[in-house]
Structure 1
């Protein structure tokens, strides 16, 4: 497996990723465990490098420009989670998430999910809403891009959100319609 990331992993971290990867085929890694496999530690320099890499991509751009130029791409899964957790599919809600990525200044953890780069969970110190913003860095047409993997809140159990949607027929039907629209849009590209 080729590994392209913003970080150079330490030897111990490489062994951890290889140990995980050797136990599963790629599709199992990507589907088996929603949350991925935590990398037990990141050094202070590695955390700083992730934030610095994110800042280089977003520097001097507002959320609308980042979205239009596809410097930050909100994945289908992330859009569904934004809809579930924010109750809105409006462009301003997506732009708000992009702004939160811009403002994020801390890496709380890294995870291996079977892709060619790690997923990093970004947060903002002092954020009263306690957003957690997992992202991945991708190379697309020779340029680095940020992929927003999902959106969640610190210490929020995901099952409550799922139960809440499952108990609301209106929200469930809106969610199904929105998911269909996103899938249709992604297949047109």
Structure 2
């Protein structure tokens, strides 16, 4: 089993539960030729949700949560994904330093649970799309605590925006694929500079 939305772009997943955040971001239609949006219709979205929650359970060692989508919930889930994508892109831009307090885009319910081994666990709550949002936000929070969240990025190519996990030593990656996105962007920038010089 794998993170199906991320696998269709040929990318390695982010570690642990952060893979759910990356996979949710990668449900968007992107690439050339354009890969379809997995959240376009309820049936396809539910199939993705079922696979993603099963994979989340496999990597976190927790039970598979039941998440049932309907048309209204799918609309909300797409809006959540879009806000998550925008926040991920802005986090890359703002990595240079702290900024002003940001507007809260979404909130989700979770509980802290103490296990018999003494470990405290964050237990996402909610139903429908809110349950999935809670899982994703809990995974992002845990990624922040482990300092892995900052490595989850979206491709700088505005025509792409695929989410990738930056495994570079200095966390400097900006393209999900240097060959398809980086080279094309660098070529466009080179041609623009040449036109300006010859202009």
Larger Rg: 2
Task: Please state which band the TM-score falls in when normalised by the shorter chain.
Answer: under 0.3
- TM-score with structure 1 setting the length: 0.24
